[in-house]
């Protein structure tokens, strides 16, 4: 059947790409690799879990400390460089470490993890389903989308994440902008405290402040990312199928 041939071809392609080290995202240690079944198929639930795990990992290991430095630099005001507390990213990081300790670099880690986990979860799931319903493209079927199709899918799929993660983005930014705990500038003691106080003091809409700029930044960026990623992945899929045409999915039921 068509479904059976897709699964067989998809599993074979993933194994080939993995063994050739062509597609590192398909290696077993990554969330998607771990959650695939024996035929190499990833369910919608597995895709959501993989995206959430990937987002939490990037937030904890990479995003949070750099976001703290970025936000501290962005919130400074004034034209006199010598009067600013933080002169550059390195000076900012070293000052935070000296004054607030290592935990200061991970201020707002919990809402950042929730934001990135939810955002990647939505993106992984939405991109796969947009490809399926707009273009009839299934993972591992050997079809290569055009750059325009990939851009459309990536752009469309990327709208869901920012809308779902607006509150976490506002909370993590507020918490990262705060100074050392115990100082007069600290307004929120935790993610839950911020989640309660912001709507109480500013109204529920305050949790989605900055949504429009995020929608102007993230979907166009993802359109470019997926256009490049799909073209590269599609190229290697096609190359492997040309070498082994017996694994090309059948079009007959």
Q: What is the pLDDT of residues 74-118, one digit of tens each?
A: 988 877 777 889 999 999 999 999 999 999 999 999 999 999 999
**Per-residue pLDDT for 247 more than 80?**
no
What per-residue string of b and e applies to 73-106 under the rule 16 or more CB within 10 Å gives b? beeeeeeeeeeeebeeeeebbebbeeebeeebbb
Of residues 234 and 140, more confidence is placed in 234
Q: Are 8 and 105 in contact (CB under 8 A)?
A: no
Span 161-183, average pLDDT: 88
Q: What's the confidence (pLDDT) of residue 35?
A: 65
pLDDT of res. 13 = 52
108, two tokens: 């707002």
User: What mean pLDDT is predicted for residues 54-71?
Assistant: 94
**pLDDT at residue 218, as a whole number:** 95
* Mean per-residue pLDDT, 197-206: 95
Which token pair is 37? Answer: 């079944």
Mean pLDDT of all residues in 234-251: 72
pLDDT at 18 over 90: no
Reported pTM: 0.77
CA of 26: how far to CAs of 4, 5, 16, 152, 239, in Å? 21, 20, 10, 23, 17
């Amino acid at each position: 059947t068509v479904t059976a041939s897709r699964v067989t071809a998809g599993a074979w392609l993933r194994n080939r790409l993995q063994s050739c080290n062509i597609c590192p995202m398909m290696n077993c240690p990554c969330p998607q690799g771990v959650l695939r079944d024996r035929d190499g198929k990833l369910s919608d639930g597995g895709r959501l879990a993989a995206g959430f795990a990937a987002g939490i990992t990037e937030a904890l290991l990479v995003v949070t400390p750099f976001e703290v430095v970025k936000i501290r630099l962005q919130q400074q005001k004034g034209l006199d460089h010598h009067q600013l507390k933080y002169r550059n990213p390195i000076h900012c990081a070293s000052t935070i470490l000296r004054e607030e300790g290592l935990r200061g670099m991970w201020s707002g880690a919990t809402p950042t993890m929730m934001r990135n986990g939810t955002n990647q979860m939505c993106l992984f799931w939405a991109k796969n389903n947009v490809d399926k319903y707009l273009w009839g493209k299934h993972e591992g079927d050997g079809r290569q989308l055009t750059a325009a199709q990939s851009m459309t899918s990536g752009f469309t799929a990327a709208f869901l994440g920012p809308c779902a993660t607006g509150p976490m983005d506002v909370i993590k930014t507020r918490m990262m902008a705060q100074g050392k705990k115990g100082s007069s500038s600290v307004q929120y003691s935790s993610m839950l405290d911020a989640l309660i106080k912001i709507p109480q003091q500013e109204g529920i809409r305050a949790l989605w402040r900055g949504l429009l700029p995020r929608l102007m930044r993230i979907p166009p960026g993802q359109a470019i990312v997926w256009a490049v990623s799909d073209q590269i992945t599609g190229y290697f899929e096609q190359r492997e199928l040309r070498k082994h045409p017996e694994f090309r999915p059948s079009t007959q039921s």
